[in-house]
């Protein structure tokens, strides 16, 4: 559409609004339109509504007809329904109704009936303009297909592609189902700070802000783990928190700088119990929201029915990369095999870190069905308890689905002396340029010295789980407002 024609059409809409205002019919002065029902309710229960007068409200999406009859499609939250506007019913208001534009929001009162063509419709007796749309909606046949624009103008996307609402309705149901599962098992939902003086609980680059009154730099939380474990120390035996986390890192199909995660902690259990809880909770949610244990996911069928596969990280590397790290005992040997396999390392990269690099490079692509990858090296698990059978590894697992991690869990480290030493190594790595390494948290060490009981803890990426349960390819499709680089906006006037 040429820019001149577009500007003229937008001007016409503004002129219509001005004429209404001058005639004392400013739609913005209408405060409410009550007692409405949704179009889906009428269509699903037509026998209860046939011949009855109802009230609806929504947006005009199509117009057709001329002369003494005008048809419109009204779109509300639940769907669409046809309006049958007739001169001899609407009388003097008919011309005003005919002059309504696509995108205008109206309130309608009328009789429910079926047209000769068999379409359930509303014979309008009153149509009230509630909001004048001053912009043009995208062409109904081509829709809003610019993916970048869809995310930037989600409000338009929801209007012209109403089917995407289903994803976000399911998102809400999934989150509610998770809460119900945990609440019913005695977990207490709590809230912990989002503004932190120390960025802890994960290896990630934080966002930094400044508190003016205290005159200190603060960090948006990268995890809520350390606060929740303080609550276990304080005597809460089962706690969880679901909310936004913030990591100043790259963006791709699985990563957004702010995302929703849940972390939960239970005293007197270990990571084996967290595995059981994870697979049972995801299965329960899937059955409740999807209606079955299997989901379609980009041409694959994923089955969440327990038990999920369990494999150690070392065994996975042996199976998929053909390298047995149980026979590679030193950092020097590990670096040599990494260089041979073209894995990028430095002179300080440890055997444990190299095992993790091998897993990422050679194994993750095979983690399609739900799988627990266990016993991570201690070097990459600064908050996890060591495995008593082999202290080079930890009692930790990551849950993978469709080649992506959805959960991370430990038997929580409750040895204050060991924890302090691991923090010091993280601080050393940070001083050597690793801006994702963790900071020293002396108050958390003090909490461990007070005494943390044996505890199992787990974090789950809610957005990724929702992606997999709703068959979406990117995290942006399950976030209503994903992070976007701002555009220079022009004034609409």
414 vs 449: CA distance, rounded Å: 9
8 Å CB contact between 54 and 110: yes
Q: Is 263 annotated as a binding residue?
A: no
Residue 409 bridge partners (DSSP): 397, 458
User: How far apart (Å, rounded) are the C-alpha atoms in residues 217 and 102?
Assistant: 49
Contact present, 238 and 269 (Cβ < 8 Å): no
> How far is the CA of 70 from the CAs of 56, 81, 88, 247, 490, in angstroms?
18, 14, 12, 53, 35
* Residue 43 vs residues 47, 50, 71, 78, 81: alpha-carbon distances, Å: 9, 10, 18, 10, 8
Among candidate residues 356, 355, 353, 345, the one with its CA nearest the CA of residue 425: 353
Check if the beta carbon of residue 471 is closer than 8 Å to that of residue 295.
yes
Distance CA(247)–CA(202), nearest Å, equals 10
Among 387, 376, 319, CA closest to 353: 376
| Residue 489 in marked binding region | no
Q: Which of 99, 138, 120 is nearest to 19 (CA)?
A: 99
Angle formed at CA 243 by CA 394 and CA 250, multiple of 5 degrees: 70
Annotated binding site for Mg(2+): 398, 405
Annotated binding site: 398, 405
């Amino acid at each position: 559409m040429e820019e001149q024609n577009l500007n003229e059409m937008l001007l016409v809409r503004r002129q219509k609004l001005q004429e209404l205002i001058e005639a004392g019919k400013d739609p913005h002065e209408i405060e409410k339109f009550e007692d409405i029902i949704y179009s889906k309710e009428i269509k699903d229960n037509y026998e209860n509504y046939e011949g009855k007068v109802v009230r609806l409200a929504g947006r005009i999406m199509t117009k057709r007809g001329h002369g003494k009859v005008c048809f419109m499609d009204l779109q509300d939250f639940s769907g669409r329904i046809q309006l049958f506007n007739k001169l001899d019913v609407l009388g003097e208001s008919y011309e005003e109704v005919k002059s309504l534009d696509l995108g205008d929001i109206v309130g309608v009162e009328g009789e429910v009936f079926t047209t000769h063509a068999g379409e359930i419709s509303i014979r309008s007796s009153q149509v009230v303009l509630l909001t004048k749309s001053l912009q043009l909606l995208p062409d109904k046949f081509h829709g809003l297909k610019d993916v970048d624009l869809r995310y930037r103008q989600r409000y338009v996307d929801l209007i012209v592609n109403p089917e995407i609402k289903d994803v976000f309705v399911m998102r809400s149901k999934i989150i509610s189902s998770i809460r119900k599962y945990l609440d019913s098992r005695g977990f207490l939902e709590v809230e912990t700070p989002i503004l932190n003086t120390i960025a802890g609980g994960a290896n990630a680059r934080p966002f930094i802000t400044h508190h003016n009154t205290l005159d200190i730099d603060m960090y948006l939380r990268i995890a809520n783990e350390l606060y929740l474990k303080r609550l276990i120390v304080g005597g809460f035996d089962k706690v969880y928190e679901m909310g936004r986390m913030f990591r100043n890192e790259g963006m791709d199909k699985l990563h957004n700088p702010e995302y929703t995660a849940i972390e939960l902690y239970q005293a007197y259990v270990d990571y084996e119990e967290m595995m059981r809880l994870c697979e049972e909770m995801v299965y329960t949610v899937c059955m409740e929201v999807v209606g079955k244990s299997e989901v379609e996911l980009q041409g694959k069928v994923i089955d969440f029915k327990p038990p999920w596969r369990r494999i150690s990280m070392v065994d996975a590397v042996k199976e998929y990369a053909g390298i047995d790290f149980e026979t590679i005992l030193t950092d020097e040997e590990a670096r040599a095999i990494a260089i041979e396999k073209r894995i990028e390392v430095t002179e300080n990269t440890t055997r444990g870190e190299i095992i993790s690099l091998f897993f990422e490079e050679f194994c993750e692509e095979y983690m399609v069905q739900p799988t627990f990858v266990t016993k991570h090296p201690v070097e990459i698990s600064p908050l996890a308890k060591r495995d008593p059978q082999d202290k080079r590894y930890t009692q930790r697992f990551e849950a993978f689905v469709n080649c992506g991690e959805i959960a991370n869990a430990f038997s929580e480290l409750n040895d204050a002396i060991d924890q302090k030493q691991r923090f010091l190594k993280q601080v050393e790595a940070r001083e050597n340029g690793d801006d994702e390494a963790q900071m020293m948290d002396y108050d958390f060490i003090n909490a461990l010295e007070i005494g943390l009981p044996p505890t199992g803890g787990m974090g789950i990426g809610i957005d990724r789980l929702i992606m997999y349960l709703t068959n979406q390819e990117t995290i942006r499709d399950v976030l209503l407002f994903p992070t976007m680089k701002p555009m220079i906006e022009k004034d609409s006037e």
